[in-house]
Chains A and B, each alone.
Chain A
C-alpha cells in the first residue's frame, strides 16, 4: 500500500501546486493581452523592447487558425478576452467588421502604408503584413521532363499537366480558399465552376490542409510526393532555402507569379471594443508598424511587411519572385458569397 499512498501523495501535490498557482497574487504590472492565431511568430527582442519602453507585460493568447480566432472573438465579444486582436485577413475582414468587434484607431504611420492595403476606410483595423498565395513548382521535375511552367491558370487544364497539381480544400484551408478566390477572379463567377470541372477531369488532387498538400503530395518538399505543383505561398522557396538542412543558395522550388495567378491575403490588427487599455493597444499597433517589427516579420512568419521602406532579408531578395498583379476581391463580396462559392465548388468536386 505504501507505493499507492506515495502515488496519491504525488498527485495531490501536483494538484495543489496547480491550484496554488491560481492564487499567487499577480504582480502589479499592467498587461497588454493580444489574441492571435497559431501561426503568429515574432522575435523575443522586439516584444521585450515594447515591454521595457512602456513598463508593461505583453501576453499572447493563441487560438487555432484564423477562422477559429475570429469565432472566439465574436463569441466572447460581450466580455473580450484581450485588448488587441491580430491576424484577421481580408477573407474574414467583412465578417469581423459586421460583428462590431473593434474600436477605430487611425495610426499616423498609416500615411506611409500603400493605400491598396488599407481596406477599411473607417480604420477599425490596421494592415500589418501580407502574403501571396501562389502555385509553387518543383524546379527539378519541370527541367527533367522538359516541361514549360504554366503562366496562366487556364493552362492547367492542358493534357501535359494532367495529375500534376495538388490544391487544398477551400472549406477547410485558408490557402485553399485563397486559390478558389483566384479562380473566381480569373474566370468570373460564371466561369470558375467550368474551370474546376476541367481541372477535375485533368486529375487535380485535393487534400484538406496545407501540411498534407505540401509535405505529402508535393514533390519539391522533403515529403517527396507525386505532384510537382502545389498551392502555397510565394515565400515558400525562401523558407526552403532558409530552413535547408545544409546551406543551399538555390531553392528546389519556385512560384508562379504571373498576373491573376496569385491571391493576396492581407492581415490586420484591431483594438477590441471595451478594452480598458485602449491607449496601450494603440501604442502596440504603432509598434507593429514600426521598422524593427516590420523587418522582423519576413523571417518569422514568411510574409511581407506592409511598410515599403522596411528592408527585406537577403534570402527574400534572392529567392522570391514578387507578384505584380495579384487577384483581389473586395472583402464585402467575399463575405457575402463565400459560403455559396464553397458550396458550389463542393458540389462540382464531389460529383
Chain B
C-alpha cells in the first residue's frame, strides 16, 4: 500500500490513527474478554504456572510424536485438498452449467456435518460392509471386503479433503470470477503461452486467495480432532487429540495445558508467516463480474475436463452423503435372520420415530425444536461474527503497524481446542449473571470466535482489491464514510460477505465440542440429538441418528441456498 491511502483517510475527516483505533476497539475487546481472559484463566487454574510441568520422557514423547504427526498429516491433507479444490474453483468460476448454484450449496455441506455423522457416512460407503465393499464382494464373489480404509492414515486424509475442499473452492472461485481478464489477454497478445500466462500472470494475481484459503485449510487440518479420532483410530493422535486424552482421560491438566499452549503458539506462528507473505499482494478485480461460459458450448477437450472434475467432486462429496440418505431410509427389519444381506426395503420409520417421545424421556429432543435452536444459534453467530469481521477487514486495509500485531491474534481461536475454549469460558464466566441467565449466549459467542477468522479470511482479499480510485472519487464527490461504505464498498463486497456468512453459519450449525460445555438441556441442537442417538444400542436409535443427520444435511443445503438467493439477487439483473 502507498501513502496516498493514508492521505485519503485523513480527507474523510478523522486522523488515521484515531480511525484505526475506533475500528479495532470492538473486535479487540471481544477477543480479550471471550478468548484471552478464558485462556489465561484455564492456564492459571491448571497449576502449570505454580507447579510447572514435568518434562519426563513420557510427556516429551507425547509432545514430539503428536507434533510431528500433526504436521505431516496437515501437510499431506492440505496438498491434496488444493489439488482437488483448485480445478473445482476454476470450473465453478469459468463455466455455467445446470445445477451450478446447487453444487456450490452442496459443497459446503461436509463443512457443517459433525464428525460422528461424517464417520458414519464414510462407513456406510467405504466401511467393511459399506456400499462399495458390498458391491465388489458380490461382483467378484469375494469372501472378505477388498477395501480396508477405515482406521488408516489415508482415512484421515480423505476425511480432511472431504471437509475442507469447500473452503478452497468457495474462496478461490469467488476471487477467480472477479479477476480482470484483460491481464491474461494482454499476456497472450504479448506472446506468452498458456502455461506462462497461468504461472506469471494468473497465479500471482490469485496468490492472496490461494494463500488465504490454503492457510485456513492447513490450520483446520492442524487442529483436527473428530476426523483423526473417529476415522484414524487409536494409532494416530494429533496434538488436539492428545490434549483431549490428557485433559479428560488422564486428568493431567498441566500436560494438557502445555500441549494447548504449544498448539496455540504454532497457530500464531503460521498466522504471522501468512501475514508477512500476503502483505503487499492484492487481487486485481473489476467491478464487473464475468458471466462465465456455458460448459455445454465449450470445446470438446474442456468439456471432457470439466465433466471429469465434476465427476471427481461428485465422488468425493456426494457419494458419502447419498450413502447417509440411503441408510436413513433403509429398513433393517429381520436383518439378523436373513444373515446380514443388504437392507430389506425402504422405510420412513426412523423419521416418524423422531416425533415420538416413547419413554417419556425428560431430555427428549423434538426434531423441530432442535432445528429451531440450531438455526437460532447460527443466526446469532452470524450477527456477531459478520459486523466484527467487517470492522477488522476495514482496519486491515489501513497501512498501520498495529495491524501486523493484531491480525495474527484473530486466528488464534481456530488453533484452540474445543475443550480448552469451552472449559475456559465456563471457568471465567460461571459466577456471572451473564452465564447463569436462562439463554446460553456464551454458546454463539464461542461459535463466533471460531467463525470470525473465517469471515475475515473470506472478505479480506476481496476488500483489499477494491480499486482505491473508486473510493477516492466517492470521497471527492462529497460522500461521507458511511455512504462510501454503503454505496461503494458494500455492493462490491456483497458476495464475499454472503460467503462469509455461510461459513459462520455453518461453523455454528455443526459445532459439537464447545456446545457440550456451554449449552443447556433446554436448548438442544441437532448435533447433540445425533450424539444422543448414537450413544445407545438398538436399530431405532441408529436409524434415528441417520435420519437426524439427513435432516441436518438438508437444512444446511436449504439455508445456504437461501443466503445465496437473497444476496445474489439484483446482481444477475445488472
Contacts and interface: CB of A to CB of B under 8 A. Distances in A.
A140 B249 CA distance: 35
Interface stretch (A56-64, A281-289, A322-330): A56-64
A224 B490 CA distance: 53
Contacts of A4: 490
Interface stretch (B287-295, B429-437, B451-459): B429-437
Contacts of B517: 63-64, 68, 72
Interface in A208-224: 208-212, 214-217, 219-224
Interface in A171-223: 171-172, 177, 205-212, 214-217, 219-223
Given A62-B516, A67-B248, A22 B427 contact: no
B9 to A, nearest CB: 24
Given A206-B233, A215-B120, A245 B362 contact: no
Given A41-B359, A44-B362, A212-B230, 6 more contacts: A43-B362, A75-B423, A79-B430, A172-B244, A240-B537, A245-B349
Interface of B: 42, 45, 58, 116, 119-120, 123, 127-129, 145, 150-151, 229-230, 233-235, 244-245, 247-253, 331-337, 339-340, 347, 349, 359-364, 376, 379-380, 382-384, 386, 419, 423, 426-427, 430-431, 433-434, 437-439, 441, 444, 486, 490, 516-517, 519-521, 528, 531-532, 534-543, 566, 569-570
Given A18-B439, A240-B538, A350-B235, A75 B427 contact: yes
A263 interface: no
B537 A226 contact: no
A71 B248 contact: yes
B438 A44 contact: no
A111 interface: no
B361 A300 contact: yes
8 contacts: A14-B380, A42-B361, A43-B359, A44-B362, A59-B520, A171-B249, A206-B234, A240-B539
B366 to A, nearest CB: 13
A280 to B, nearest CB: 18
Interface in A142-194: 144, 169, 171-172, 177
A70 B423 CA distance: 12
Nearest to A350: B235
B521 A67 contact: no
A299 interface: yes
A172 B423 contact: no
B249 A81 contact: no
Contacts of B145: 226
A117 interface: no
Contacts of B58: 343
A306 to B, nearest CB: 20
Given A11-B383, A14-B383, A68-B516, A243 B521 contact: no
Of A39, A71, A224, the most chain B CB neighbours within 10 A belong to A224
Of A42, A65, A75, A221, the most chain B CB neighbours within 10 A belong to A75
A27 to B, nearest CB: 10
A339 B252 contact: yes
B335 A224 contact: yes
Contacts of B359: 41, 43, 299-300
Given A68-B419, A216-B150, A217-B128, A239 B537 contact: yes
Nearest to B439: A21
Given A14-B376, A68-B516, A243 B536 contact: yes
Q: Which 4 A-B pairs have CB atoms at the shortest separation, nearest pair first?
A: A243-B538, A252-B336, A11-B383, A67-B248
A211 B116 contact: yes
A43 B251 contact: no
Given A172-B245, A208-B233, A211-B116, A76 B430 contact: yes
Contacts of A62: 363, 516, 519, 521
B248 A239 contact: no
A64 B543 CA distance: 22
Nearest to B347: A245
Contacts of A95: 251
Contact of A222 (B42, B252, B335, B444): B335
Interface string A23-42: 11010000000000011111
Given A38-B532, A79-B431, A239-B537, A72 B426 contact: yes
A258 B340 CA distance: 28
A246 B334 CA distance: 8
A299 B380 CA distance: 37
Contacts of B536: 239, 243, 302
Contact of A38 (B430, B441, B535): B535
A209 B230 contact: yes
A1 B537 contact: no
A47 interface: yes
Given A22-B439, A68-B248, A224-B340, A245 B540 contact: yes
A333 B536 CA distance: 30
B540 A243 contact: yes
Contacts of B334: 246
Contacts of B150: 216
A337 interface: no
A233 B538 CA distance: 12
A260 interface: no
Contacts of A40: 363
A139 B336 CA distance: 9
A104 interface: no
A219 B339 CA distance: 10
Interface string A224-245: 1110000011001001101111
A95 B248 CA distance: 12
A245 B380 contact: no
A96 to B, nearest CB: 10
B540 A244 contact: yes
Contact of A72 (B384, B423, B444): B423
B430 A243 contact: no
Contacts of A14: 376, 379-380, 383
Nearest to B438: A21
Contact of B537 (A47, A208, A236): A236
Given A18-B380, A75-B45, A222-B335, A243 B541 contact: yes
A67 B444 CA distance: 24
Contacts of B128: 216-217, 225-226
Contact of B123 (A177, A223, A242): A223
A7 interface: yes
B234 A171 contact: yes
A42 B233 contact: no
A342 interface: yes
Contacts of A1: 486
B437 A22 contact: yes
A320 interface: no
A243 B545 CA distance: 13
B423 A71 contact: yes
Contacts of A42: 361-363
B559 to A, nearest CB: 13
Interface string A132-143: 000000011000
A14 B441 CA distance: 12
Nearest to B520: A61
B249 A342 contact: yes
A19 interface: yes
A115 interface: no
Contacts of B45: 75
A22 B250 CA distance: 37
Nearest to B133: A226
Given A226-B129, A232-B537, A15 B383 contact: yes
Interface string A104-145: 000000000000000000000000000000000001100010
Contacts of A216: 119-120, 123, 127-128, 150
A55 interface: no
Contacts of A236: 537
Contact of A15 (B127, B250, B380, B570): B380
B516 A244 contact: no
Contacts of A212: 119, 230
